[in-house]
Structure 1
């Protein structure tokens, strides 16, 4: 562990104190978004490594919800990686599509219901921020956790909506990261916001293009 102690140390980033684990984890998180935009298989292992580093950063500032988020992201990324690999072996490409209205309703229900349930758990166990932390902080922590898991699922299913879920996470993540003194995370969340908008446009355009079925040589949606 001593060899990795430097990950818990801070350095000055344009006058802001930044943990090395927070800095490197977010650099990899940015790379993950760019690779996802390109529908690259490499997005998944890069995300796993970045989440390990962000787990360390979250534990440094006692963000239990965000720490749990990283653990689940690692597991979800492993599943998503396997899902994309099977899809590519079967079809030869990673095609994307819009979710159905039923699928959208499920995603929304999970986001809202999951946030309330996980927030209640964090509040009851005083596991988020500090004992007696206000509800808005706990629910924000829970929202980021549930939203990230939901986005990972939607990404693995290749729904265009996965970008919208990340957008909802970013809108809460920026002020929460700054409030928690994870300043570099706040900056990166802002960059995520721009990349997510690009991702929505790109995946939406790709979902509208008909694809050639490799088996039948016919057009398919």
Structure 2
């Protein structure tokens, strides 16, 4: 299983790095890594995590489709995927859905499955889905949520004796910070470039 885990680690790291760079190849990399991690999590009885990987495949596929459709019309001056701040209503709704999903999935796996760490696994699964949905919409706020989720994942995977995956998620924390910094900077640059000056507006 270590060789499969190593392969999943490399593909996951590549997918996140490509997302930071706003490269559309982040989607296929994410799909393949989700397939591998779905099998790994099934083996170690992290069933919520396994369900999460299945959802990732669907969301990554949707994100890939959206980025292909919008490739020509939604690119900024650097010709990369366009990013945007999250609307307040979407942020609140997403966090509420994450909390509700944590309770529902945690109760389900704790009651009806021999899940390891059912409540923690369910909570991280639920909020990861929120972050992944925000990713498909290219919201900058995804990075803040990923930072929080990845910190908790490092602890969980270390406890479950998945050292390569724990190290991967520690790297994700760094990449998420870089993504947040770069996306905010680029969004500010785009806004300043697209805003007409007083002399231009007449």
* TM-score, structure 1 as length reference: 0.81
Aligned partner of 1:95 in structure 2 is: 82
Inter-partner Cα distance in structure 2 for 1:29 and 1:42: 12
Q: Structure 1 pair 220/51, CA: closer, same or farther in 2 (3 Å)?
A: farther
Aligned partner of 2:199 in structure 1 is: none
Structure 1: gaps (5+ residues) = 1-7, 9-18, 130-136, 213-217
Three-state SS of the structure 1 residue aligned to 2:180 is helix
Inter-partner Cα distance in structure 2 for 1:55 and 1:20: 15
Q: Structure 1 pair 123/89, CA: closer, same or farther in 2 (3 Å)?
A: same
As a proportion of its length, which structure holds more strand? 1
Does 2:54 correspond to 1:79? Answer: no
Does 2:194 correspond to 1:219? Answer: yes
Equivalences, count? 192
Deviation at 1:220, TM superposition (A): 6.4
Q: CA RMSD in A?
A: 1.9
Inter-partner Cα distance in structure 2 for 1:84 and 1:139: 34
Aligned partner of 1:4 in structure 2 is: none
Aligned partner of 2:109 in structure 1 is: 122
Q: Structure 1 pair 80/192, CA: closer, same or farther in 2 (3 Å)?
A: same
Inter-partner Cα distance in structure 2 for 1:41 and 1:211: 22
Structure 2: gaps (5+ residues) = 197-202
Equivalences for residues 39-54 of structure 1 within 5 A: 39-54=22-37
Equivalences for residues 1-221 of structure 1 within 5 A: 8=1, 19-92=2-75, 93-129=80-116, 137-210=117-190, 219=194
Contact 1:73 1:148 in 2 (8 A): no
Deviation at 1:127, TM superposition (A): 4.5
Contact 1:143 1:169 in 2 (8 A): no
Three-state SS of the structure 1 residue aligned to 2:189 is coil
